[in-house]
């Protein structure tokens, strides 16, 4: 039986080249919800996705001290070392640098748009992050963490 090498194309014109832009509407990032708590429907280990997962990972990264995670001794931000230091611009810039280095190392999908570190009325430090997700359209978000 002879093999045909011709191709028959049905329809009119060429198909348009459609390039889809990445959004976080469809679950692209999946992981375990943190902090772990009991859900009546899913039990202990519930799944989280997309922006909710990224925000939880950011909070976890900022609040974790280095050496605290098993099998990942350099994960975290070592912010407790600034605990008894005087609150001035030098300290705030050191904290910002520590956070930026940790995010660039462990959360490469997050792009930092603005980072603020300031003292609250209760003499606590608060970190405000204004971020967006790389390779995704309109996914800017902010997160606040008290230290």
Quick one: pLDDT at residue 102?
94
CA 9 from centre of chain: 45
Contact 76, 61 (CB under 8 A): yes
- How large is the C-alpha radius of gyration of the chain? 23
Q: Could you give all domains of the chain from N- to C-terminal order, each with its CATH number?
A: 30-146 (3.10.450.40)
Q: Could you read off the pLDDT of 21-37 as tens digits, one per residue? A: 445 555 466 666 666 66
What is the reported pTM? 0.71
Quick one: pLDDT at residue 6?
63
Spell out the per-residue pLDDT of the chain, length 147, in tens. Answer: 566 666 555 555 554 444 444 455 554 666 666 666 676 776 777 666 678 888 888 988 999 999 888 888 999 998 889 888 888 899 999 999 999 999 999 988 889 999 999 888 888 888 899 988 887 766 777 888 887
For residue 21, report the phi and psi dihedrals to the nearest 5 degrees.
Answer: -90, 145
Which residues sit opposite 147 in a β-bridge?
none
Q: Could you read off the pLDDT of 100-114 as tens digits, one per residue? A: 999 999 988 889 999
If you search the block for the tokens 């098993």, which residue do you land on? 70
Quick one: pLDDT at residue 40?
75
Give the containing element (helix H, strand E) for 118.
Answer: strand 110-119
- In angstroms, the CA 145 to CA 115 distance is 11
């Amino acid at each position: 039986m002879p093999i045909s090498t011709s191709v028959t194309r049905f329809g009119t014109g060429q198909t348009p080249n459609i390039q889809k832009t990445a959004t976080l509407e469809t679950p692209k990032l999946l992981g375990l919800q943190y902090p772990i708590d009991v859900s009546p429907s899913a039990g202990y280990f519930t799944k989280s996705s997309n922006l909710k997962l990224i925000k939880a990972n950011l909070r976890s990264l900022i609040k974790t001290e280095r050496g605290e995670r098993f099998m990942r001794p350099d994960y975290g931000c070592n912010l407790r070392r600034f605990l008894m230091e005087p609150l001035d611009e030098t300290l705030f810039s050191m904290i910002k640098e520590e956070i930026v280095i940790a995010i660039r190392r462990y959360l490469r999908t997050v792009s930092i748009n603005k980072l603020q570190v300031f003292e609250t009325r209760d003499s606590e430090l608060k970190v405000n992050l204004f971020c967006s997700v790389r390779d995704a359209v309109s996914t800017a978000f902010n997160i606040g963490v008290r230290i």
